[in-house]
Amino acid sequence: MYVRNMIYIIFFDFWGVYFWGINQYNHKMKRLSVLGTLALFAFLLIACGEKEEKSKDGFSIDRQKTTEQQTETTPENTTKASERIELENKGVGVVTSVDLPTEIDQAMAANGKELYDQLCLACHRIGKKFIGPAPNDILKRRTPEWVMNMILDPELMVKEDPLARELLIEFNGSPMANQGLTEEEARAVLEYFRTL
């Protein structure tokens, strides 16, 4: 396979050179010839590459990715990601189950507000869309697990949770910062959200 390619290449390059010679005054042909030489180089590169078996895998992986992306970005739902209600999705991350007692723990919520003001307020304002969405009524749209996972590891969520990825795009591609909260701190922030 490789040897055969090389023979083609050598043959075609001489063909290209031949064209250079006979079409000295033919501008159009000159351009064609340039293209021909470029094509040859490309062909050569491929010929080199084909020697390594890995490249085939890479190519098929790429194709898989493309189809994956296509299915993901095909919007089945035309509602904005921020307004969509997903009360089953727990997101991706360390938090798999959160038990919310009916009564709000006011001390925990106060601690959550303090953390929120220091670490979140720069992008999330109460009652209005800012860099990111407002946290008001968040538990009417999201599960507590999803909220905590988003706080604890936004990078992982954007990578693996389709809704988080859509949100990133809706909010101008501005990535949510990982503010290094502990699970306990994220839980406190969640409690604060319940008071809003």
Partner 1 sequence: MKKVHYIISGFLGLILMVMSCNTGADKSNGALSSSAAEKVYVAPGEHDEFYAFISGGFSGQLSVYGLPSGRLFKVIPVFSQDAEKAWGYNEETKPMLNTSYGFVPWDDSHHPDISQTNGEVDGRYVFINGNNTPRIAKIDLSVFETTEIIEIPNSAGNHSSAFVTENTEYVVAGTRFSVPIPQRDISIKDYKGNFKGTLSFISVDPEDGGMDLSFQVLMPGFDYDLAHPGRGASHGWMFFSTYNSEEASTLMEVNASQNDKDFIAAINWKKAEEYIASGQFETMPANYAHNVYSDETHTATSTMKKEVRVLDASKLPGLAYLLPTPKSPHGCDVDPTGEYIVGNGKLSADLTVHSFTKMIAAIENENFEGEAYGIPILKFEDVLAGTVNQAGLGPLHTEFDADGNGYTTFFISSEVVKWKVGTWEVLDRAPCYYSVGHLMIPGGNSRKPYGKYVVAMNKITKDRYLPTGPEVTQSAQLYDISGDKMELLLDFPTVGEPHYAAGIAADKVIGRSRKIFELSENKHEYATTSDADVKVERNGKEVHVYMTTIRSHFNPDNIEGIKVGDKVYFHVTNLEQDYDVPHGISMIGANTSELLIMPGQTETFVWEPKQVGVWPFYCTDFCSALHQEMQGYVRVSPANSSLDLSWSLGED
Smallest distance from partner 1 to CB 196, Å:
15
Smallest distance from partner 1 to CB 42, Å:
11
Residue 121, interface with partner 1 (CB under 8 A)? yes
Residue 126, interface with partner 1 (CB under 8 A)? no
Residue 196, interface with partner 1 (CB under 8 A)? no
By beta-carbon proximity to partner 1, the closer residue of 89 and 130 is 130
Number of Cβ within 10 Å of residue 42's Cβ equals 10
Give the torsion sign (CA, 136, 137, 141, 143): positive
Q: Rounded CA gap, 142 and 134, in Å?
A: 13
Q: Where are the alpha helices (DSSP H) in the chain?
A: 2-22, 27-50, 54-73, 106-119, 138-141, 144-152, 154-160, 162-170, 183-195
Smallest distance from partner 1 to CB 6, Å:
8
Site residue total, partner 1 (CB under 8 A)? 34
Running DSSP on this structure, what letter comes out for residue 42?
Answer: H
For 48, phi then psi, to 5°, come to -60, -50
Smallest distance from partner 1 to CB 24, Å:
6
Residue 172, interface with partner 1 (CB under 8 A)? yes
By beta-carbon proximity to partner 1, the closer residue of 130 and 139 is 130
**For partner 1, which stretch binds (CB under 8 A), given 40-48, 60-68, 73-81, 101-109?**
40-48
Beta bridge partners of 86: 142
The residue to which tokens 């109460």 are assigned: 126
On the 0-12 / 13-18 / 19+ scale of CB atoms within 10 A, 157 is: buried
Residues 47-86 that bind partner 1 (CB under 8 A): 47-48, 51
- Residues forming the site for partner 1 (CB under 8 A): 6, 9-10, 13, 16-17, 20-21, 24, 37, 40-41, 44-45, 47-48, 51, 117-119, 121-123, 130-131, 172-175, 177-181
